[in-house]
Amino acid sequence: MSDVWRRFVTGEGPVDEVDPTIYRSWQRCKALEVDYQRVGSNEILSKPRLRERCQAQEDLIQAGKPVLPYVFRLLKGLNYMVLLCDGEGYILEALGDPPFMTKAQQVYLSPGANWREDIKGTNAIGTSLAEKAPVKVRGWEHFVQENHFLSCWAAPLRNSRGDIVGVLDVSGEAANQKERLLEIVVMGARMIEQNLQLIELKRNFRFCKQGIRLAAEMLREGFIAIDGDGVITEINRAGAQLLGRRREEIIGRPASDVFCGNKNWKIDGGDLELEVEKKSGLRIRPRLREVTDDEGYTVGVVGVLQVNPADKKEAETPLWVGRSEITRKVFERAAKAAQTKSTVLIQGESGTGKEIVARYIHEASPWREGPFIGVNCAALPSTLIESELFGYADGAFTGAKRGGRPGKFELADGGTIFLDEIGDMALNAQAALLRLLQEAEVFRIGDTKARKINVRVIAATNKNLSDLVAEGLFRQDLYYRLKVITIDVPPLRYRKEDIWDLVPYFVRQTCQTLGKPPLGIAEEVYTYLFAYSWPGNVRELKNCIESMVAMADGPLLTVEDIPAEIKNAAGSEAGMQQSLLKRQTREAILQALAQTEGKIAPAARLLGIGRSTLYRKMKELGIKP
C-alpha cells in the first residue's frame, strides 16, 4: 500500500507527490464520501438490461467491433484486457487474456458493471469520463483499496458533435506496466471515433438520398438532379413521365444523352442549353440551380423540368396519376408492352382505369402518331357489331350506304384499336376478329377484297374470360390469341395511396371544366376517402369529386361536401380501418424484429422509422423489446 494514498485517505498529511489528475479525482471521491477500502455497492446490469443498453448503443458497438480485437492483438499474451464502455460508465464489451479476466471479474471489471467515479472511486474509465481526457491510473492511484491490484489506461470517445459517448479502456495487473500503453489506447479511441463518424456520414448520406427522393416524389412538377460529371442522379416520376421514359432508364445516364442541345455540356460555367423535344412537339426544358460545396465549387445542379410555356396546355394534364407501387408497376408493364407488337389484354374491375392504360400504351407505342379508336363491345347489339368493326361493301344488305362503309379497324389503321368489354362480343364477330388478328387484313361484310391493315389491338374485360371459355361463350383460340400480354389493373381499394394524387387531379380537372377557381382540399376529407372501399373504383372517386366540386361554396372542399352515402359508409368503416392499420403495423414491427433478431436499431432502419418512434410504437402496441 502506498504511503501517499494512505496519507490522503486518512487525512494524515500532505500528498504533493501525486499526479494532478489523480489528486483531483481523489478529492472528488472524498467529497462524494466514497469508501476507500471496498466498493460499497456495485451497479451491475442484468443480462437483458445489458443487451438493451448494447442495442441502444449500436453505433458505438459497431464502431468498436474491428478496433477491440486489433488493440487486443497488440497486447495478447501479456495478461491485459480491452474494454468498451458507454458514456455513462457501463462496460459493454470486453476482450482479454483469461488469467487476468478471471481476476478482474472479482471486482466486476466485466460487461454490465458501471465504473463511474462515484461508484468505483478513481479508475481510468470513470476518471477519463470526469476529466474528459485520456488518463492512466496505476495500482495505488485507485481510490478504493480493493482495486489496487489494477493498472488502467483509458481515453474518452467523442461523436462528430464532440459529445462524449463512450470510453476505451485497457486494464492489467498493477505490476504489469508496458510502455506506451496510453498511446495505444488513444490510437484505438481515434480509430473508433473515425468509425463512428463514418457510420454517421453513411446514415446522413442515406437520409439525404432518401429524403431527396421522397421530397421529389411529393412535387407535382418534374424534379431532376445532375452531378458534377453531368450524370443524372435523380429524377422523380413526374419528371420521367414528362420525358416519356421510366425513371430507371434515366437515372445514371449522362444528361447529354437524355436532353438535346449542347452535347458537350459541362456544369461549371457552361451555358445550360438543355431541351428535349418529344414526338408530340412538346418541348421540355429544365430550370436548374447550381449546387456548390463549402469552397464554392459546383458539385452538381438540381431543378425542375418545365414544359416550354408555349406548349404548356398539353402538359398540364398527365394521362394518369397515382403513386402506389401497384399503379407504378401497372404502367411500367404497360410501357414495356408498348414496345412490342403483341396484342394486349387488360383485365380489371369496372372503373379501375383500363382505358387509361390502353391510351398510355398507345401513346408510348410506335402507333402513337395514328388514331386511337375505342369500341365498347357490350354497347353494340350482336347484329351490328360485325359491320361496326369490319365495315361493309356497297350493296351488302338492304339499307347499306352507297359505296359501302369502313369499319373501326380500317379507321384505326396505323393506330390502336381498343376493344372494351371484349367478353361481351358475339361469337360470330369473335370468329371474324380471330381471322383478322391472324391475317392482319379486313374483309368488309359482303366484300371479297382483303384490305391490309396495320393496327395495334388492345382488348379489355372486367369478366373472367377463362370462365366464359369454359361456358362456351368465348372462343378458346381467340382467348389465347388475345392474352399474349396481360395487364391486371387492381381495384382502387388495394392501392389507396393513389387517392393522394387522384383527388387533387380530379379537383383541378373539374374546376377547369366548370370554370371555377382552383379549390383547396381539407385534410380531413382524405380520412373519409381513405376509409371508404370504392366498389366503383377510380370512376366512382372521380364522380364523387365532381359532385363535391360542383356543390362546394367556399375555397376549400370540406367533409360537408362529401356525398352522404360515401360519408356514412366511410364513417362506419373508419373504426375498422384504424384497427386494421394497428394490426398491420404490429405485424410489420414483429416481422422486422424477427428479421433482426430483436435488434431495435436495424429493425427501425428496416421499417424506415427512427429508433425512438419504434420504441414508442412498440409500447403503444404492447410489444416487449
Ligand X SMILES: Nc1ncnc2c1ncn2[C@@H]1O[C@H](COP(=O)(O)OP(=O)(O)OP(=O)(O)O)[C@@H](O)[C@H]1O
Binding site for ligand X (CB under 6 A): 320-322, 327, 348, 350-356, 420, 460, 462, 505, 538-539, 542
- Between CA 229 and CA 93 the distance in angstroms is 45
Q: Whose Cβ is closer to ligand X: residue 238's or residue 442's?
A: 238
Report in angstroms how near the CB of residue 509 gets to ligand X at its nearest.
9
Q: Whose Cβ is closer to ligand X: residue 350's or residue 585's?
A: 350
Residue nearest to ligand X (CB): 353
Report in angstroms how near the CB of residue 483 gets to ligand X at its nearest.
17
Q: Whose Cβ is closer to ligand X: residue 230's or residue 322's?
A: 322
Longest CA–CA span in the chain (Å) reads 132
Q: Nearest CA to 365 among 459, 453, 244?
A: 244
Q: Per DSSP, which regions of 421-510 are E strands? A: 441-443, 450-452, 456-461, 485-488
Q: Are 341 and 371 in contact (CB under 8 A)?
A: no
| Long-range residue pairs from 257-262, CB within 8 A, at least 24 positions apart, any chain | 258/232, 259/286
- Between CA 265 and CA 254 the distance in angstroms is 10
Other beta carbons within 10 angstroms of residue 470's beta carbon come to 11
Report in angstroms how near the CB of residue 471 gets to ligand X at its nearest.
20
**Strand, coil or helix: 502:** helix
Q: Whose Cβ is closer to ligand X: residue 81's or residue 389's?
A: 389
Report in angstroms how near the CB of residue 348 gets to ligand X at its nearest.
6
Give the 3-state secondary structure of 236-248. CHHHHHHHCCCHH
Q: Whose Cβ is closer to ligand X: residue 355's or residue 424's?
A: 355
Q: Are 60 and 84 in contact (CB under 8 A)?
A: yes
Alpha-carbon distance values, 228 to 210, 211, 261, 340 (Å)? 20, 20, 18, 36
Q: Whose Cβ is closer to ligand X: residue 103's or residue 539's?
A: 539
Q: Are 361 and 416 in contact (CB under 8 A)?
A: yes
Q: Are 170 and 70 in contact (CB under 8 A)?
A: no
Report in angstroms how near the CB of residue 318 gets to ligand X at its nearest.
8
- Between CA 590 and CA 598 the distance in angstroms is 9
Q: Whose Cβ is closer to ligand X: residue 84's or residue 459's?
A: 459
| Long-range residue pairs from 114-117, CB within 8 A, at least 24 positions apart, any chain | 114/42, 114/43, 114/44, 114/45, 114/88, 114/89, 114/90, 115/85, 115/89, 115/91, 116/43, 116/88, 116/89, 117/25, 117/28, 117/29, 117/32, 117/34
Q: Whose Cβ is closer to ligand X: residue 3's or residue 467's?
A: 467
Report in angstroms how near the CB of residue 331 gets to ligand X at its nearest.
8
Report in angstroms how near the CB of residue 358 gets to ligand X at its nearest.
8
Report in angstroms how near the CB of residue 489 gets to ligand X at its nearest.
6
Q: Which residue has the cell 389484354?
A: 345
Q: Whose Cβ is closer to ligand X: residue 57's or residue 462's?
A: 462
Report in angstroms how near the CB of residue 189 gets to ligand X at its nearest.
57
H-only helix segments in 516-625: 523-531, 537-551, 564-595, 600-607, 611-620
Q: Whose Cβ is closer to ligand X: residue 232's or residue 315's?
A: 315
Q: Whose Cβ is closer to ligand X: residue 74's or residue 378's?
A: 378
Position 483, amino acid: K
C-alpha grid cell, residue 551: 356543390
DSSP state of 567: H
C-alpha grid cell, residue 60: 458505438
> How many whole angstroms from its chain centre is CA 414?
41
- Between CA 238 and CA 216 the distance in angstroms is 9
Q: Nearest CA to 273 among 282, 286, 283?
A: 286
Q: Whose Cβ is closer to ligand X: residue 350's or residue 547's?
A: 350
Report in angstroms how near the CB of residue 487 gets to ligand X at its nearest.
11
Q: Whose Cβ is closer to ligand X: residue 17's or residue 332's?
A: 332
